[in-house]
């Protein structure tokens, strides 16, 4: 039987409708053209990323997987505007990225909630920092907390919540100012295996209900395949694109999808990239 799994360098996934309070404008999604990064050091230049060319579609769940040190986090920082590329151009929603911009929400591996602020105040932090109308966004913050199952925990302090609950709050914080794009850097790497699986299911539900474009970085091949519309596989440092795979699993997905032969086949196919390189996830 011929495999349904496809590897390509650039093949658009099915378009997913973006649910937002704002109308879409300009070129949707994220585009990288010839983007590379080289760090300067006393001992000379240290190449981190070789030139990358790919596009992430509006409303797509796009996952990047690769070995440690291959430049995954560097890639995310450049797309967010926190780090300039050495060469090439990055477009987010049709605009060139030259500095941090407000159309992106970022979730890191650790929740990074402020311990002296309650959960609702932590979620509202971007609104306070951007000096946006507080009353207007307060209702949105409460609605997001309800969406992720944290209704009733608004006045709790971070230490009173489990790790998974804290990370849900950090996702709300990334969404509260209604960005079109979510960038996630190993968001569940610090969680135990069972909580991580539950959070994966939760994240897919949130993405489905909000319609955001998601770029997620991970070391976990099964996590990448379970979550993604497409998976970009990176080589060892200096990172380059080894392949981009379409994920042939229907949505919505449950954990039962991991028993699908197509899931196992794609996990094994991606894993072979790292066996060939002598590395494992």
CATH number at residue 271: 3.40.50.300
Task: Please tell me what DSSP assigns to residue 239.
Answer: B
Looking at the fold, whether 22 and 125 belong to one and the same domain comes out as: no
Task: Provide the Cα torsion 11, 13, 14, 18; round to 10°.
Answer: -130
Instruction: For 43-70, write each residue's pLDDT tens digit.
Output: 888 899 999 999 999 999 999 999 888 9
Q: What is the pLDDT of residue 148?
A: 85
Q: How many CB atoms lie within 10 A of CB 161?
A: 18
Q: Work out how many domains the chain is built from and give that number.
A: 2
Looking at the fold, whether 206 and 72 belong to one and the same domain comes out as: yes
Residue 108 lies in a domain: no
Domain end marker among 178, 205, 230: 178
Helix (H) or strand (E) holding 272: helix 261-277
Q: Taking 50 as the threshold, does the pLDDT of residue 37 lie above it?
A: yes
Residue 131 lies in a domain: yes
Looking at the fold, whether 160 and 191 belong to one and the same domain comes out as: no
Domain end marker among 152, 178, 204: 178
- Asked if residue 171 lies in contact with residue 206, where contact means CB atoms within 8 angstroms, the answer is yes
Domain end marker among 153, 178, 203: 178
- Asked if residue 121 lies in contact with residue 138, where contact means CB atoms within 8 angstroms, the answer is no
Residue 1 lies in a domain: no
Residue 232 lies in a domain: yes
Q: Taking 70 as the threshold, does the pLDDT of residue 20 lie above it?
A: no
User: Is the preceding omega at residue 31 within 30 degrees of 0, hence cis?
Assistant: no
For residue 9, name the pLDDT band (cuts at 50, 70, 90).
very low
Q: Taking 90 as the threshold, does the pLDDT of residue 6 lie above it?
A: no
What is the separation of C-alpha 191 from the centre of its chain, rounded to a whole number of angstroms? 16
**Average pLDDT estimate for 86-113:** 90
Q: Taking 70 as the threshold, does the pLDDT of residue 147 lie above it?
A: yes
Looking at the fold, whether 163 and 57 belong to one and the same domain comes out as: no
Tokens 């500095």 belong to 99
Looking at the fold, whether 92 and 202 belong to one and the same domain comes out as: yes
Burial 174-208 (b: 16+ CB within 10 A, else e): bbbbbbbbbbbbbbbeebeeebbbebbbbbbebbb
CA dist., res. 97 & res. 93, Å (int): 10
Burial 130-147 (b: 16+ CB within 10 A, else e): eeeeeeebeebbbebbeb
* Average pLDDT in the chain: 86
Residue 238 lies in a domain: yes
Domain assignment of residue 269, given as a range: 6-103+182-277
Helix (H) or strand (E) holding 42: none
What is the separation of C-alpha 148 from the centre of its chain, rounded to a whole number of angstroms? 17
Residue 274 tokens, joined: 């790292």
Instruction: For 205-236, write each residue's pLDDT tens digit.
Output: 889 988 999 999 998 999 999 999 999 999 99
């Amino acid at each position: 039987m011929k495999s349904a799994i496809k590897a390509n360098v650039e093949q658009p996934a099915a378009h997913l409708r973006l649910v937002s309070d704002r109308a879409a404008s300009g070129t949707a999604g994220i585009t990288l053209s010839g983007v590379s990064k080289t760090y300067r050091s006393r001992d000379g230049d240290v190449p981190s990323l070789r030139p990358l060319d790919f596009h992430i579609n509006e409303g797509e769940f796009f996952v990047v997987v690769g070995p440690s040190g291959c430049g995954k986090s560097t890639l995310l920082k450049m797309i967010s505007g926190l780090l300039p590329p050495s060469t090439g151009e990055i477009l987010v929603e049709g605009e060139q990225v030259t500095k941090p911009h407000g159309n992106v929400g970022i979730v890191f591996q650790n929740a990074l909630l402020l311990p002296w602020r309650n959960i609702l105040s932590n979620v509202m932090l971007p609104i306070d920092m951007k000096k946006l109308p507080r009353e207007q966004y307060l209702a949105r913050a409460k609605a997001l907390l309800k969406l992720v199952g944290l209704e009733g925990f608004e006045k709790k302090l971070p230490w009173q919540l489990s790790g998974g609950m804290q990370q849900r709050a950090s996702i709300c914080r990334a969404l509260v100012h209604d960005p079109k794009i979510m960038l996630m850097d190993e968001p569940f790497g610090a969680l135990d295996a069972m909580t991580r699986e539950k959070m994966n299911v939760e994240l897919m539900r949130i993405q489905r209900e909000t319609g955001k474009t998601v770029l997620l970085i991970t070391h976990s091949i099964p996590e990448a395949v379970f979550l993604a519309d497409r998976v970009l596989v990176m080589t060892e440092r200096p990172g380059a694109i080894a392949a981009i795979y379409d994920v042939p699993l229907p949505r919505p997905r449950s954990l039962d999808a991991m028993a699908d032969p197509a899931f196992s086949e794609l996990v094994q196919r991606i894993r072979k990239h790292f066996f060939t390189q002598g590395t494992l996830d």
